[in-house]
Amino acid sequence: MKLPLALLAASALALGGAMASRALPPPKVNDTLIAGDSLPKELANFGFFLDVSARERSPGVIGYELRTPLYSDMADKLRYVYIPEGTRVVADGDGLLQFPVGSAIIKTFAFGEGAEQRYIETRVLLHRADGWVALPYRWNEDQTTATLALAGARLPVTTPEGEEISYRIPNKNQCKTCHSKDGEVIPIGPKVRNLPGIFFRSLGEGGRIERFPETTDPLPVWTERGSIDDTEALARAYLDVNCAHCHQPGGGASNSGLDLRWEQDDPHKLGIRKPPVAAGRGAGGHLVSIAPGDPDASILVYRMDSAEPGIAMPELGKSTIDHDGVAVVRRWIEEMDERPGAP
């Protein structure tokens, strides 16, 4: 017996509605790609986000901010971490979190606001069994996909202050320049002292951290610097985040003898009255890294306040001068006691 077409159509609609009403399992991050040895061609292959615009996170991907962030030509940065299910992060003191194998750290660089915001690149750090791998992904003009850019790229960008720059997406080897310590690639941003408590609560809610850390010496919140009187803390935090990944023992610039880490308390290693190892063009004719009371005689300020290749510091990651950062470091040096031997 044949059913009328109208009845068949109604039955099909009813079946379709019933199927649509069933909750589909949420998409999952591709753990195999993260922990494997391949280099995925597109960012979307990892499954970190639910949509092509990378605005909505997949389950297990947690957003976070830093108390004092790295300066990158005034780019907005959207930061995320992924911790595989059944594993936990370990906090060891105030330093870097220890991430389990299979974790990923994701950072997208963007310019513009609201509907006008455009993604430029997304960098990922993948924790594999043999260590961390750093990969850069470049977003297309349509903002629909980010493709692996092993060779890096140069793109014209207008900064929030209206400055036209040639923005650099680092190549795979340049990623290692900043993320290297003792020859190994490591994360540099997610340190306990530079993360807000809400981030650890988010990890705890998902059972993804061994214990809630309590830092005894947190970095100041950079966005609140206008109300912070401790100039030294602001300047030291800025140098720790923007310079110390290279200027520390085992870092890419360890041969300079400078150690700009937050925890360093030796004035000479911080550069106070310290002559440069090599007094080349980058020294600008100045005699010491930091001349107490005289920022204009300090190599540190001279290099921070330049955008000229061969002089500018940091060498990678920016094409413009961070005037706010320079101002804080200048004020810190101005406030130092000029007397020889003074603390």
- pLDDT tens readout for residues 318-337: 889 999 999 999 999 999 97
> What pLDDT is attached to residue 278?
73
Q: Is the pLDDT of residue 216 over 50?
A: yes
DSSP string, 62-81: EEE--SSPPPSTT-EEEEEE
Residue with the bigger pLDDT between 25 and 262: it is 262
By percentage, how much of the chain surpasses pLDDT 70?
A: 90
Query: Quick one: 160 and 115 in the same domain?
Result: yes
- Can you name the residues that pair with 126 across neighbouring β-strands? 104, 133
Examine residue 169 and state whether it is found in any structural domain, yes or no.
yes
The average pLDDT across 157-186 equals: 83
> What pLDDT is attached to residue 208?
85
Q: What is the pLDDT of residues 26-44, one digit of tens each?
A: 568 999 999 999 999 999 9
Query: Quick one: 101 and 248 in the same domain?
Result: no
Ranges 11-15, 180-184, 280-284, 323-327: which has the least confidence:
11-15
Residue 224: burial class (beta carbons within 10 Å; 0-12, 13-18, 19+): exposed
Q: What is the pLDDT of residues 280-295, one digit of tens each?
A: 777 888 999 999 999 9
Query: Quick one: 152 and 234 in the same domain?
Result: no
Query: Quick one: 309 and 256 in the same domain?
Result: yes
By percentage, how much of the chain surpasses pLDDT 90?
A: 57
Q: What is the pLDDT of residues 240-249, one digit of tens each?
A: 999 999 999 9
Average pLDDT, the chain: 87
Query: Quick one: 313 and 233 in the same domain?
Result: yes
Examine residue 110 and state whether it is found in any structural domain, yes or no.
yes
Query: Quick one: 43 and 177 in the same domain?
Result: yes
Query: Can the peptide bond before residue 343 be classed as cis, meaning omega within 30 degrees of 0?
Result: no
Q: Full-prediction pTM beyond 0.85?
A: yes
Query: Quick one: 187 and 257 in the same domain?
Result: no
Domain closes at, from 205, 236, 268: 205
Examine residue 52 and state whether it is found in any structural domain, yes or no.
yes
Examine residue 10 and state whether it is found in any structural domain, yes or no.
no
Residue 126: burial class (beta carbons within 10 Å; 0-12, 13-18, 19+): buried
> What's the total number of domains in the chain?
2
> What pLDDT is attached to residue 341?
61
Query: Quick one: 193 and 61 in the same domain?
Result: yes
Structural domain boundaries enclosing 262:
222-334
The average pLDDT across 269-275 equals: 94
The average pLDDT across 148-177 equals: 87
> What pLDDT is attached to residue 215?
79
Examine residue 188 and state whether it is found in any structural domain, yes or no.
yes
> What pLDDT is attached to residue 253?
83
